[in-house]
Structure 1
Amino acid sequence: MTNETVLPEPAADSRPTTGTRTSPATGPAAGLRGRLGYLDNLRAALTVLVVAHHAAITYSNLPLWYYTEPRDNASATGFVIFLAVNQMYFMGFFFLISGLFVPGSVDRKGPWRFFRDRLIRLGIPLVGFWLLIRPLLAIGSWPEYRKAGLSPLAFFLAGSDPGPMWFVEVLLVLGLVYAIYRSVRGRSLDQQRSAVVPDARVGNRMIMLLIGVLTVVTYSWRLVVPSGTYWPIVGLPTPYYLPQYVFLFVVGLLAQRRGWFSALTVRQGWAGLVMALVAGVPALGFSTVHGPAYLASVFCEQVFAVGVIMALLVLFRTRINRTGAVSRFASGQAFAVYVIHPLVLVAVARLIAPLAAPGVVKFAVLVVIAVPVCWAAAYLLRRIPGVRRVL
């Protein structure tokens, strides 16, 4: 999500290093140069999906957002399906992309300078959200706290989880683990760079192995952390998806060395689409069952997630790979949008609250207004001296 974790300086990461043989089509250097198109565009598109996802919660009858409105059952059911489909893959996709350029950043900076920079670029927005944005989002409930005789401090501390910034929390932990790993491994930067695997291929067996491992680990994990679990202390809303987040982050780490993103074929992209279409309905339909049937549900979840990710990677790489002023602007503000979008969504939702319309109409109005406002606000925020350093 951040410029550092997803889009490092192209000169440092894209040039081949001594002793590394790369292929024009599939080598790591080619894949990193291609990022300036399709990964920028993909990153912006996924950020729009995050905004739409949280806009849908507003009208879903699920009390999982800072501001919600009760809606008719038909709209609410549609939103719940939309949310469930997104949840199966989109945050895992963010972790995959976030892991892609981490090895190159550690190559340039070393493990501990890398993590120090992560603390600045991720830690400051995390603390800023908790101190400034979170209380503003809860301001509508202040009259109830005051009526109950609670102090402003009690109001400030209530609901003190980081909200959507849980993603940043987890990225910080994963970055620390990787920094420790690279430090303990003790290899020089030249040795690390020479470990790049040229002419990579992504075989179908490799894909099925990933799905199989994800299924077994996720199923075992959910015996302890069942679906619907919420971790209030760290604010992690979906800890039952944690294996997918970690595994896809690791896949991103490996993909940087092996050029896997560039190696996916168009045929595999179409296969991913078929996988997603076939597995999507069973994954949703079996989600409430138990026993062996639940294992099948978890399997379908992972097939759907991997299939959608494959299809989108190939689609954006082959069809949506050009950059212009608009795409650079959209990608450049993406992390800032992620940080501030709850404030914009809640403000706009309250503004259009008097509108008498079905939930799906209000959702569309909210998204159409909030998306450009988010990007405009992010742009203005990043023009403040020093803000661009962390956003």
Structure 2
Amino acid sequence: METATRRYDLDWLRIIAFGLLIFYHIGMFYVTWGWHVKSDQASSAIEPLMLVVNPWRLELLFFISGVATRFLADKMPTWKLAGSRFNRLFWPLVFGMAVIVAPQAFYEIKTDLHYSGSYLEFWGKYLTGYGEWCDHEGCLTVPTWNHLWYVAYLLAYSLIFALIWPLLKRIPMQWAKSLPAWVYLAVPVALYWFCNGYLEPRFEETHAFVGDWAVHTISFGFFILGVMAAKFDRLFEIARRLRWLSLATGLAAYAMIAWLRYLYFAGKLPIPLEIAWPLGTFIESSQAVFLMVTLLGFARQHLSNADGPIRRTLTEAIFPFYIVHQTITVVAAYELNQLHWPLAIEATALVVITFGGCWLSYEIVRRIPLLRPLFGLTYKAKR
């Protein structure tokens, strides 16, 4: 996050956002929603907590990525920007699909299809696009990118941005810096509401890239909002001023959507579904945007000057953490589940193993120049 001076608040916010995402994926092992592997002790207990962050966890990452990409665009020519983003994202994606993500698919078919072959036998089939791991829901597509879909989508958006940036930067934007504060909130709420309420029911979320129009619209939309907001210091100052109001509004919206969800599943909706659906999606859109603004505001207030070795280390480490974390979680979760430990002990062990494994992976990778680019790091460490 380089400008004339470094934006430490955005560095920290990126670290926090990725950290929340890692905890979220650990939580996916214990909820009733579908995932690669499931705990024998899964329940709906933590689902309300998961639903606090679910609507905005990835949109915040795409927004921050847009901000970072804009800062890079001001420092280098377009061709160099495209090359920089390609090298940062493409090699981790390819390596991740071939090596890092493969164990997730292995444990998924062990769980769902009771696969009994060896990992090497599986991996050979995985790399050659074996298409017969199927159940009643369909067939597993391999190789796959699973959680690395974010990297694939970000790569595409970054290259599109590099292509259109020479035109975009010619558009006068001074007028946007003096808009009323409510506009800065209304635009992302409207974007989210359009995607959530109109596109999502028509285009199923697949993360398969082709045809994933609802996800592309909201993800690329927040990426571009980050690009546009990067140099609008007034936006971040508004977020700082409104941070407590945004927090209250976001939590109130969450409570309202939780109540509507309860009434719907209990068959007690007092209004027709034709009204409840757009109302609910609008409330959820408000929850997402106001909680994102809350994080921007508190980061601006408390982390703008928070520099030090911890910030510098985590800024570099968090992307390698993201690349490896889900595989560590899936493998550890499956094996821990076989031990039938009490839930609290098992969950604690899973958190420790996930973050410990991420840290160990980073410590190894950062010392080996040939591995560094495969995990999103520069070939040589910065001094």
The TM-score with structure 2 as length reference comes to 0.79
Aligned counterparts of 1:201 and 1:232: Cα–Cα separation in 2: 35
CA contact (8 A) 1:279 1:303 kept: yes
Q: Which amino acid aligns with 1:56?
A: G
Residue matched to 2:38: 68
CA contact (8 A) 1:46 1:90 kept: yes
Aligned counterparts of 1:297 and 1:358: Cα–Cα separation in 2: 37
CA contact (8 A) 2:66 2:223 kept: yes
Q: Gapped runs of 5+ residues in structure 2?
A: 130-139, 266-272, 378-383
Residue matched to 1:113: 80
Aligned counterparts of 2:209 and 2:116: Cα–Cα separation in 1: 23
CA contact (8 A) 1:95 1:245 kept: yes
Within a 5 Å distance, the mapping from 1:25-174 to structure 2 comes to 33=5, 35-36=7-8, 38-65=9-36, 67-72=37-42, 76-140=43-107, 141=109, 144=115, 146=117, 153-156=124-127, 157=129, 158-160=140-142, 161-174=144-157
Aligned counterparts of 1:120 and 1:130: Cα–Cα separation in 2: 16
Flag the 1:286–1:242 CA change in 2: closer, same or farther, 3 A: farther
* 2:309 corresponds to which of 325, 335, 339: 325
Aligned counterparts of 1:186 and 1:245: Cα–Cα separation in 2: 19
Aligned counterparts of 1:202 and 1:210: Cα–Cα separation in 2: 14
Flag the 1:325–1:379 CA change in 2: closer, same or farther, 3 A: same
Aligned counterparts of 1:368 and 1:100: Cα–Cα separation in 2: 32
Is 1:180–2:155 an aligned residue pair?
A: no
Aligned counterparts of 2:276 and 2:345: Cα–Cα separation in 1: 37
Within a 5 Å distance, the mapping from 1:1-391 to structure 2 comes to 7=1, 10=2, 13-14=3-4, 33=5, 35-36=7-8, 38-65=9-36, 67-72=37-42, 76-140=43-107, 141=109, 144=115, 146=117, 153-156=124-127, 157=129, 158-160=140-142, 161-183=144-166, 185=167, 203-225=181-203, 229-231=204-206, 233-234=208-209, 240-286=214-260, 290-321=273-304, 322-359=306-343, 361-389=345-373, 390-391=376-377
Flag the 1:350–1:210 CA change in 2: closer, same or farther, 3 A: closer
Q: Which amino acid aligns with 1:39?
A: L
CA contact (8 A) 1:218 1:243 kept: no
Aligned counterparts of 2:339 and 2:57: Cα–Cα separation in 1: 30
Aligned counterparts of 2:326 and 2:248: Cα–Cα separation in 1: 34
CA contact (8 A) 2:63 2:225 kept: yes
Residue matched to 2:132: none
What is the aligned-residue RMSD (CA, Å)? 3.1
Deviates more, 1:258-267 or 1:365-374: 258-267
Question: How far has the Cα of 1:340 moved from its partner?
Answer: 0.7
Q: Which amino acid aligns with 2:365?
A: L
SS in 1 for 2:284: helix
SS in 1 for 2:147: helix
Question: How far has the Cα of 1:102 moved from its partner?
Answer: 1.6
Question: How far has the Cα of 1:215 moved from its partner?
Answer: 1.6
Q: Which amino acid aligns with 2:7?
A: R
Q: Which amino acid aligns with 1:231?
A: T
Aligned counterparts of 1:127 and 1:34: Cα–Cα separation in 2: 31
SS in 2 for 1:291: helix
Identity of aligned residues (%): 19
Aligned counterparts of 1:368 and 1:153: Cα–Cα separation in 2: 31
Deviates more, 1:164-173 or 1:320-329: 320-329
Aligned counterparts of 1:347 and 1:41: Cα–Cα separation in 2: 29
Q: Which amino acid aligns with 1:44?
A: I
Aligned counterparts of 1:151 and 1:93: Cα–Cα separation in 2: 36
Deviates more, 1:156-165 or 1:350-359: 350-359
Residues 164-183 of structure 1, C-alpha deviations (whole Å, 9 max, x = no match)? 11111111121122122124
Aligned residues between the structures: 347
Aligned counterparts of 2:91 and 2:46: Cα–Cα separation in 1: 33
Flag the 1:44–1:206 CA change in 2: closer, same or farther, 3 A: closer
Q: Which amino acid aligns with 1:35?
A: R
Aligned counterparts of 1:333 and 1:64: Cα–Cα separation in 2: 26
Aligned counterparts of 2:245 and 2:117: Cα–Cα separation in 1: 57
SS in 1 for 2:242: helix
Residue matched to 2:135: none
CA contact (8 A) 1:119 1:172 kept: yes
The TM-score with structure 1 as length reference comes to 0.78
Question: How far has the Cα of 1:109 moved from its partner?
Answer: 2.4
Question: How far has the Cα of 1:113 moved from its partner?
Answer: 2.4
Flag the 1:329–1:239 CA change in 2: closer, same or farther, 3 A: farther
CA contact (8 A) 1:330 1:375 kept: no
CA contact (8 A) 2:192 2:218 kept: yes
